[in-house]
A and B are shown apart, each in its own frame.
Chain A
Amino acid sequence: MKKLFGKLGFITVLSALVIAGCAGDSESKEADNKEQAGGGTLIYGRGTDTVTLDPHNIVDAESSRISKNVYETLIDYEKEGTDIVPKLATEWNTSEDGKTWTFTLREGVKFHDGTDFDADAVVYNFNRMMDESHPQHQGDFSIFGRTVRSLLEEVKAIDPHTVEFKLNESNSTFLPNIGITTFGIISPTALEKFGEEINQNPVGTGPFKYESWQENDSLTLVKNEEYWIEDIPKLDKVLFKVIPDNSARLTALKNNEIDLMEGLNQTDLPTLEGDENVQLFKRPSANVGYFTFNITKAPFDNVKVRQAISYAIDKQGIIDTFYGPLAVPAKNMMPPVIWGYNDEVTDYNYDLDKAKSLLAEAGFPNGFDTELMVMSTDRVYLPQPQKVAEAVKANLSGIGINVKITTYEWAAYLSKVLNKEHAFAAIGRLSENGDPDNFLYTMLHSNSSSNLSLYKNDEVDELLSLAQQTIDKEERNTIYKKVQELVHEDAPTIPLAHVESAMAGATSVKGYIPHAIGYESLQDVYIQK
Chain B
Amino acid sequence: MLEYARWKYILIAVVLALALLFALPNVFGEDPALQVARKDHSPVTADAQKEVGDFLTQRGIHFARTYIDNGRLMVRFANVPQQLAARDAVNDQYAQTYITALSFAPRTPEALRALGLRPMPLGLDLRGGLYLLYQVDVNAAVQQALEGYAQDARRALAAANIPVKDVTVAGPGSDKPYTVRIVLPADADAGAARTTLATPLQGLTIATESLASGSAITATMTAAQVRERQDYAIQQNITTLRNRVNELGVSEPIVQRQGIDRINVQLPGVQNSAEVKDILGRVATLEFRLEDMQNNAIEAQQTGRVPLGSKLYTHTRFGRPVLLKREVIATGDQLTNATSGQSQEGPSVNVRLDARAGENMLRTTRANINRRMAVVLIEKRRETQDVGGQKVSREVTDEQVINDATIRGIFSNNFQITGLQAGEARELALLLRSGSLATVIYPIEERAVGPSLGRDNIDKGVTALIVGMAGVFVFMVVYYKAFGLVADVVLLANVVLLTALLSMMRASLSLPGIAGIILTVGIAVDANVLIYERIREELRKGVSPQAAIRAGFDKAFSAIWDSNLTALIAGIVLWVLGTGTIRGFAIVLTLGIATSMFTSLMGSRALLTLMYGGRRKIARLSI
Query: Do A and B share a complex?
Result: no
